[in-house]
A and B are shown apart, each in its own frame.
Chain A
Amino acid sequence: MPAIEAGFARGIKGPIVESLSHDILIIGGGGAGLRAAIAAAEHNPKLDIAIASKTYPMRSHTVSAEGGMAAATREYDSLDKHAFDTIKGSDFLADQDAVEYFVSECPREAVLLEHWGCPFSRDPDGRISVRAFGGMSVKRTLFAGDKIGFHMLHTLFQTTLKHENIHRYDEWFATSILVEDGHASGVTAINMRTGEMSSILAKAVVLSTGGCGRIYKFTTNGWIKTGDGMALAYRAGVPLKDMEMVQFHPTLLPNTGILMTEAARGEGGYLINKDGERFLKRYLPGKMELGPRDIISRSEMTEIKEGRGFEGPYGSYVLLDIRHLGEDVINKKLSFLKELAEKYAGVDPVHEPIPVRPGQHYIMGGVNTDKTGYTGIPGLYGAGEMACVSINGANRLGSNSLTECLVFGAAAGKAAAEYAMRQSMPHLGNPLQGVAMEEETRVYDQVLKHEGGERISSIRSEMQSTMDESVGIYRDENGLSQATRKIAELKDRMRNASVEDRDHVFNTELISALELDFMLDVAETIAYSALYRRESRGAHTRTDYTNRDDAQFLKHSMAYRDHGRPRIQYSPVTITRWQPEARVY
């Protein structure tokens, strides 16, 4: 019998007694959050920094990134090339000043990560190896086998341990941002171990909670990717930008949604239809398998629609064929892909092609920030997949996201440190105490103790199906407006849902309910932003408005929360040196 740990059963609702405080509070211990923490700690070793995260940092979904991270480090490459590839990839919706800053910081961030110990793959001369990636005009994606995210995350996490001024709240779930006099002053959070809620006060708060892929059913994203930080910021009054821009990756295993990395194509893999053709010759003759994800995913859908896909128990699919790379290359450079294909699809890619179909992978949109991570609410910063600076516009290039976490994580950490150094510590008097008490009532009385309602899993499942079907790769007016109605209905039903688990100790069902509540808000901003963008651009494909319309829509969608619903406004795109042109590859 395993030993049990007694003494946790406390924390039954009562006034928030505990109030904790730090100079800087970072919500999320993924790539972006850890990088922010190190940046702040290095900026001023006297600052008291804390990372609160609903999982142990090394469990964050950054861990699953496979292919690599982009940085122009080679003599044949240049910052301008990296910038232009990114901007063209974004279908000209990226802010070009942000992209220029991003590409100029990437090489430095890559070297830093290497100095901190990341076990990058190496060329014989000892330099970090680079590989080709979709939409990148030259080889610039640095890699560590096909586990770059895992190595990056563990390297960053282990590096934070050397800083004595970085504290951690592992398995603490943030439920709301405390705002006082228009300033972010901390968060309310549940210590999952005890189930108690506390306010953690801070002079500056950095959100780095990752993406929201679990809004969809068929996704590469892990269970924890529920858009929490987007909902937290949105509820605190920050607009969510370009939320309709959701990336669908072309190569997921049909059953589980587990990703077959783009590195497979970077190393020379083929996509094949039922007739044995490399069908991309019809869509991306100049790039073939190294094209951008939005176009490849649509090409697969066209092949399937026109009868050139395969039928399987988990829907139609095409094949990813890497046999010709040979066992040696596969074992050395794509060993994780091999392990995943064997285990989860029963296919040995050395000898057989792998069934794949497109599915949700990433969100380009997110919390509106500037280049320093600033959200517009004094004291509130954001970075990583959760944020939208925007460097990704309407379509992110593979391998830009990890470097984005580093570059903007560092920028946000530094900006938060500078801000915190000028501020005094908020304290839990009025009105903060009142706000925190209200949050406690919401969580414990309205969610935990509510009886007799429906299960949250049915609401979650209907939300995911709606998003897959109506807010997926192809969209139209009818489907999108239906989706907005469906989400409104689900939000109503959510108010009446119940959890079965009434415990305080590690109540994962309560956490799931709070996450679902966040996801419904985020899903609604996606559906509305998609409904009103009546054009096709990047990953946003409207079957009823098939062209890009620069005259009307070369602008960012901004979803503000207005009486609980999104109100969509627009803001200009920054163009510096690259005028929009037709996006052909």
Chain B
Amino acid sequence: MTKDSGVETATLKVFRYRPEVQTEPFVQEYKVPYRQDMVVLDALNYIKDHIDGTLSYRWSCRMGICGSCGANVDGEPKLTCASFLHEFKGKEIKIEPLANFPVIKDLIVNIEDFMEKLDHIKPWIIRKEETPLEKGEYRQTPEELEAYKQFSMCINCMLCYAACPIYGMNEEFLGPAATALAYRYIADTRDQDHEARFPMVHDKEGVWECTLVGECSVVCPKGVDPMLAIQKTKILGATQILKPPRRGK
């Protein structure tokens, strides 16, 4: 942070890419008035409202739950609404789009690959038999809930994919969030066909690609541990392979 004419300011160096204006990306520097309680997103909004209306990024909830606002902040994937300027005190802050995704414009990346993977893992309860609604809810004890709860906390913010070196090399890799969500359903007592998801998580681009770097679990802003989900799915898969194949499958 520096003081310009008495006002403390922060300097942001922002990755820009405007395909209609310039074919190559560039870096643009902005100075914004600094307050101790400002998050990076506040600084971006200040720029957009007062300095440069062309700067483009996604956001909505500004409370770390909608998953829109991920970016690489000073080289680390972060939610811009949950990383404070004071964490970078004394530095210029480098803001770039999340790594490992194609950039559409400025900080806006294309996440269609994840959306397809999400669809692929069948993220819904599969029942062999439906219970009529009149019978009420499926009973589930607090312990049974606990078995999958943390994996249901994924906000799809894509920070884990930006941090994953395997995904960086091979975009076919199912990746952390999709595996965590697959495991979330596999471990849910209400689901009756866990095996339906095994082909996706166990095919050659599934969990076996993961080399346990563990960056995904480090960067997750919601305390999800995708690496643990990957481990658990590997174990399930290994025991599953030993079972005789079922007829008709």
Contacts and interface: CB of A to CB of B under 8 A. Distances in A.
A111 B137 contact: yes
B65 A505 contact: no
Nearest to B52: A500
A504 interface: yes
Interface in A496-555: 499-501, 503-509
Contacts of A131: none
Given A63-B61, A116-B125, A501-B53, 4 more contacts: A223-B59, A336-B65, A340-B63, A343-B82
A501 B56 contact: yes
B61 A127 contact: no
A201 B138 CA distance: 40
Interface of A: 1-6, 8-9, 55-56, 58-61, 63-64, 73, 108, 110-112, 114-117, 119-128, 147, 150-151, 154, 158-159, 161-162, 170, 193, 222-224, 255-256, 258-259, 336, 339-340, 343-344, 346, 455-457, 461, 499-501, 503-509
B53 A499 contact: yes
A126 B139 contact: yes
Contacts of B185: 117
Interface stretch (B97-105, B200-208, B240-248): B97-105
B163 to A, nearest CB: 14
Given A124-B141, A158-B123, A2 B66 contact: no
Nearest to A343: B82
Contacts of A117: 124-125, 185, 188, 190-191
Contacts of A346: 37
A258 B102 contact: no
A224 B109 CA distance: 19
A339 B155 CA distance: 15
A123 B144 CA distance: 11
B68 A126 contact: no
Contacts of A222: 60-62, 66
A126 B152 contact: no
B91 interface: no
Contacts, number: 196
B89 interface: no
Given A58-B67, A115-B138, A503-B20, A223 B99 contact: no
Interface residues of B, number: 73
B94 interface: no
A503 B25 contact: no
A147 B64 CA distance: 12
B177 to A, nearest CB: 11
B231 interface: no
Interface stretch (B1-9, B11-19, B209-217): B11-19
Nearest to B53: A500
B238 interface: no
Given A158-B123, A506-B56, A508-B57, A128 B103 contact: no
B124 A158 contact: yes
B65 A147 contact: yes
- Centre residue among B18, B20, B64, B123 by max chain A CB count within 10 A: B20
Contacts of A58: 66-67, 155-156
B136 A505 contact: no
Given A125-B139, A503-B21, A61 B53 contact: no
B49 interface: yes
12 contacts: A4-B103, A56-B115, A63-B65, A115-B133, A117-B191, A122-B142, A122-B144, A123-B142, A125-B141, A126-B139, A128-B137, A508-B48
- Centre residue among B60, B67, B190 by max chain A CB count within 10 A: B60
Contact of A258 (B63, B111, B138): B63
B28 interface: no
B149 interface: yes
Contact of B131 (A115, A125, A223): A115
B54 interface: yes
B96 interface: yes
Contacts of A123: 142
Given A3-B103, A126-B139, A55 B188 contact: no
A503 B54 CA distance: 8
Nearest to B54: A501
Interface string B86-123: 00000000001111011111001111000100110011
Contacts of B190: 115, 117
A161 B68 contact: no
A457 B50 contact: yes
Given A9-B20, A509-B54, A162 B60 contact: no
Nearest to A505: B105
B133 A108 contact: yes
B124 A61 contact: no
A226 to B, nearest CB: 11
A503 B125 contact: no
A506 B58 CA distance: 10
Contact of A59 (B66, B101, B104, B125): B66
Contacts of B98: 2
A170 B62 contact: no
A194 to B, nearest CB: 10
Contacts of A1: 25
A505 B101 CA distance: 17
B133 A255 contact: no
Contacts of B122: 161-162
Nearest to B137: A114
A340 B62 CA distance: 11
Contacts of B139: 125-127
Contact of B19 (A9, A63, A340, A344): A9
Given A158-B123, A161-B123, A504 B20 contact: yes
A154 B19 CA distance: 33
A249 to B, nearest CB: 14
Contacts of B170: none
A161 B119 CA distance: 6
